[in-house]
Structure 1
Amino acid sequence: MDLGDLLGPLGWMVQVAAAFAIAFFAQTVFSPQGRTFAGVARASAVIALLAVLGAAWVVHPAAGMLLGFFGSRAFGKWRGAQPGLLAGLLAAAVFMALGAGWLIFPLFFMGMAWLASSPFREPAPERAVPVAPVPLPQQAGGVILTKSPAAAREAGLGGYVRDERLPADARAQLAALNLRSQEALDLLRAQGQAGSEAEYVARAIREEYAPNAVEAYLKLPRTLADSAPLQDGKTGRALLVEQLELLLDGVQDVLNSALQSGGQELLTHGRFLRDRFAKPTLDLGSDLRVPVEVKPR
């Protein structure tokens, strides 16, 4: 018997609170608070507490959000997010101890990709020098070059994830964007919101905004795209990572909105169950009084 069984009638309140805790967790880790240790730790502690109280399922969606959190924070300019990333690693250990043991495998491979991207080497800023682009053949010296931009666009975000012309941090963001945008579209269709403004935004991010950002980056000279500053000291790579992070925030807003909509349905069902099955409690101070008969003398 777990703690949720001991709480009895309060168990349904824990389940409802868990749904709101997921929304709070997502809003925290994908906001500026996700760069701070206190913000991530506070949101993770709420998830862990509700899991101990009986909502054991809550650690699984929270663990999935942690993967997206690491994908968007750990690559690129990760140094400013070190406290939040440390809290995220501690939260991952707690979630695995509470039942989300599957989290170890994607975290391991994501860590390998992070190390392979040379995170400790900062490219030195260079002065932008105009260089005439040299057209490259599709095949040279028996080595087949990567797919053309048109072929990558046709393959969708999944095609860009496999495109070796893109930096590793941008490809990790595109992988997270591919999964979460598809999740948002599936969820909105399941809720009957096909054709809504939220569905339009999610589809535009997936099929237009993200591909346009990638295509603009691929048009830069390969020798200067990751080193020469374009604006405010930012290179083409830094600008691409920044734009993809904005799109990840936009998809998360759509998911948060869909979660609130689904949460209302869950709350309504909880009220129905409470009215239908909750048993009245006895007032020991009044209902158990024994009447005393007074006989006349």
Structure 2
Amino acid sequence: MEAVAWIVHPAAGIALGLFASVLFSKRGRQWEAVAFAAALLLLLAVLGAEWDVHPAAGMLLGYFGSTAFGHWQKRWPALLAALVASSLFMVAGAGWMVFPLAIMGLIWLFTAGWSLVGRAGKAATDAPSPAELPEHAGGFSFGPWTGGKEAEEKERVSAKQARRKEPGSKVSVPPAADPYTDWMRDSRLPGEARAQLVALNLRTKEALTHLHGLGQQGSEAEYLARAIREEYVPTAVGAYLKLPRTRADTVPIEGDKTGRDLLREQLDLLLDAVQGILDASLQAGGRELLTHQRFLEDRFGSADPHTPDDLKV
């Protein structure tokens, strides 16, 4: 028996570590893992390590506190397995946990019931009618609605647009907002993405200005630079901002890449593309400069500065 006790007590310590790693990790969502770890502790308690049920009961109370008041609808099988384990731990000697467990149960019933009632009431009052749904979501378009603040705002916008079209109208049209300025101040975007957007803003402006100076309006390079600035970059940023804020930078989307990683890679590709446009325009301008250099060398390079009569005419 002493040999068995010598093995059981260290094994109980290891089993407690396993129990904690199961409860407070992703495996805590699997009822099979919770049941196995609890059964191992109960077996060791029967073999002589009765003390292990007390720390295990404390861990279960922490598990209930961190899980039962969150997304319990998705984890109820694991919670049920933990509740059964709690009952067995109380039978094995941890009867003291019945009081905190009962208090937590009452709090859970109150909060969960209140939450369900609130959701049901909100769903009933906030459900949009078919006419209010956008057409792409299955709604119906019956023309502009004449009531409410939204309709009044639409009427004011329409009236302003009509005045702008009237000949002789002096209504000033405000300049369109630059999305790059808004993105640089948007805290939803990662810091490195905002730095990349600053670089893209400057380089695309530089490329377009340089191409216009070379008289390459309408060229393929000018079209590509404008598409990067006005289409490709906004599409990448808009797709990232549509991701859930609590998941965009942590949950992988493809392989081990999160939305933050994919945005950074796409902006890097666009930066390389703009740099390629600038390099190509530099080479074109460089060829023109080299041609002029060769002309000057051919025209004046063989002339002796001390014999101006040797200058070619």
Pair member with larger Rg: 2
TM-score (norm 1): 0.42
TM-score (norm 2): 0.40
